[in-house]
């Protein structure tokens, strides 16, 4: 059977139908080497020359992700940040960049630092507001539009197809940070984006045991060669061991994400009706401002990320993060274990994150245990602290 006749889930579950020719190993081998011997004609045997540029285990993981993303190629990096930094470093000098206002805060910090050093020109638009995005784009000048959907903080949704049209009309490239919506539910390239970007530390990795980042694109993207070169100059490629762990993780991405989505929907529904909760921000809820667009572009579940605004102040929110027994008080997201985070403490007072907001990454545990833990954290803290 031809590979592309099979569904992406099927191909990912079998690591692209890999069976090791020499041994029959069902699991792809981890090939950790810094350099590759040439053959008797002094030719490269398989195109690999040196591990700073590429290696077979990392390439295997990239092929799986490109398949999931409906892309032609993917490039893996040793963190999500190094992947997005490579995109910005690949732009022409003094390029104008339009980035979403509320998004992953370290991405914002990096862009603002580059702007303050005069490397790029930078404008922001409020997340989810397509008209505001249109107003910031400068035809001929804007080289990169960077959106994140669903977006860190309030999980606001930006219409990817509409953003792609605006970017392309101005001659700019659209990059979508789709970390909270892995390709089993959202495929930015199919919606017109030029680069799909993930912190693969999150859902793709899924077990909180390494950091990684990945960019995917179609073959005709001009910037691609430059991005690959930047990775080679900087040596920010994902090493073999982490790539091997990632291949392991991608085999179960679909079922992990489906379980997180199922749990999150029940968790959100339960606490939206709670007397100690002001609001639940979850794109899966019909009450969320971005729900209709989310339903259009997230085809297979809304994921495990939500924010809960509790009745009370920062003191109560922090107290709840401490009182949780099952939810782990840690940053990051998309793992099999559930996390709770007082996001304003992490992102800072300028982040626009409300003080009574708890960011929840809902994992794959039993939903009753998760609901009971948050209930007891609410019950043992006071709304009038």
Ligand X SMILES: *Cc1c(COP(=O)(O)O)cnc(C)c1O
Q: Which residues bind ligand X (CB under 6 A)?
A: 79-81, 104, 107, 148, 152, 177, 179, 199, 201-202, 211, 213, 333
Which candidate in 104, 203, 257, 282 is catalytic? Answer: 104
Per DSSP (E only), the strands in 237-369 are: 277-281, 305-310, 328-329, 339-341, 357-361
How far is residue 73's CA from residue 86's CA, in Å, rounded to a whole number?
16
Question: Is 154 an annotated catalytic residue?
Answer: no
Question: Is 52 an annotated catalytic residue?
Answer: yes
For ligand X, which is the closer residue by CB, 29 or 101? 101
The least CB distance from residue 260 to ligand X, in Å, is 14
- The four Cα atoms 376, 378, 381, 384 give a dihedral, to 10 degrees, of -160
For ligand X, which is the closer residue by CB, 147 or 170? 147
The least CB distance from residue 152 to ligand X, in Å, is 5
Per DSSP (E only), the strands in the chain are: 73-77, 96-100, 121-125, 142-148, 173-177, 195-199, 213-217, 277-281, 305-310, 328-329, 339-341, 357-361
The least CB distance from residue 212 to ligand X, in Å, is 6
**Helix, strand, coil share of the chain (percent; to 5):** 40, 15, 45
Alpha helices in 212-300 (DSSP H): 223-234, 240-250, 253-272, 291-297
Which candidate in 52, 248, 262, 266 is catalytic? Answer: 52
Distance from the Cα of residue 367 to its chain's centroid: 24
* CA distance between the termini of the chain: 64
Which candidate in 63, 159, 177, 276 is catalytic? Answer: 177
For ligand X, which is the closer residue by CB, 152 or 196? 152
The least CB distance from residue 179 to ligand X, in Å, is 4
For ligand X, which is the closer residue by CB, 201 or 338? 201
Question: Is 177 an annotated catalytic residue?
Answer: yes
Question: At a CB cut-off of 8 Å and minimum separation 6, what does 177 contact?
Answer: 84, 103, 104, 107, 146, 147, 148, 149, 197, 198, 199
Which candidate in 187, 202, 343, 344 is catalytic? Answer: 202
For ligand X, which is the closer residue by CB, 16 or 362? 362
Nearest in space to 319 (alpha carbons), one of 337, 342, 352:
342
The residue with its CB nearest to ligand X is 80
Cα angle, residue 69 at apex, residues 63 and 75 outer, rounded to 5°:
50
Q: Which H or E run contains 66? A: helix 56-69
The least CB distance from residue 109 to ligand X, in Å, is 11
How far is residue 229's CA from residue 252's CA, in Å, rounded to a whole number?
31
What is the residue whose two structure tokens read 């992102």? 347
For ligand X, which is the closer residue by CB, 36 or 110? 110
The least CB distance from residue 10 to ligand X, in Å, is 27
For ligand X, which is the closer residue by CB, 179 or 356? 179
The least CB distance from residue 308 to ligand X, in Å, is 18
How far is residue 320's CA from residue 348's CA, in Å, rounded to a whole number?
19
The catalytic residue positions are 52, 104, 177, 202
């Amino acid at each position: 059977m031809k590979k592309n006749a099979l569904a992406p889930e099927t191909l990912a579950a079998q690591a692209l139908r890999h069976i090791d020719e020499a041994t029959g190993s069902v699991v792809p081998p981890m090939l950790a080497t810094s350099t590759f011997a040439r053959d008797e004609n002094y030719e490269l045997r398989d195109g690999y020359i040196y591990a700073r540029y590429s290696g077979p285990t990392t390439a295997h993981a990239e092929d799986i992700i490109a398949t999931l993303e409906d892309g032609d190629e993917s490039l893996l990096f040793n963190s999500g940040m190094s992947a997005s930094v490579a995109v910005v470093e690949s732009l022409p000098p003094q390029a104008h960049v339009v980035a979403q206002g509320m998004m992953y805060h370290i991405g914002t910090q990096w862009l603002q630092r580059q702007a303050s050093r005069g490397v790029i020109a930078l404008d922001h638009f409020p997340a989810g507001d397509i008209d505001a995005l249109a107003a910031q784009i400068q035809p001929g000048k804007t080289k990169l539009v960077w959106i994140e959907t669903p977006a860190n903080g309030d999980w606001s949704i930006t219409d990817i197809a509409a953003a792609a049209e605006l970017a392309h009309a101005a001659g700019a490239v659209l990059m979508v940070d789709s970390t909270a919506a892995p390709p089993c539910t959202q495929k930015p390239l199919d919606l017109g984006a030029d680069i799909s970007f993930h912190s693969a530390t999150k859902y793709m990795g899924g077990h909180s045991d390494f950091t990684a980042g990945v960019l995917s694109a179609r073959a005709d993207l001009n910037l691609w060669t430059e991005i690959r070169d930047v990775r080679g100059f900087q040596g920010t490629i994902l090493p073999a061991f982490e790539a091997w762990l990632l291949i392991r993780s991608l085999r179960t991405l679909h079922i992990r994400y489906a379980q997180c989505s199922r749990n999150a929907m029940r968790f959100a529904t339960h606490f939206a009706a709670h007397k100690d909760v002001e609001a639940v921000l979850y794109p899966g809820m019909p009450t969320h401002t971005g729900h209709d667009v989310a339903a259009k572009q997230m085809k297979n579940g809304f994921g495990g990320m939500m924010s809960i605004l509790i009745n009370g102040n920062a003191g109560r929110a922090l107290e709840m993060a401490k009182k949780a027994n099952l939810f782990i008080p840690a940053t990051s997201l998309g793992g099999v274990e559930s996390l709770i985070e007082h996001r304003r403490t992490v992102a800072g007072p300028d982040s626009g994150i409300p003080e009574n907001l708890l960011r929840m990454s809902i994992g794959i545990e039993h939903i009753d245990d998760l609901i009971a833990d948050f209930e007891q954290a609410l019950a043992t803290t006071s709304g009038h602290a």
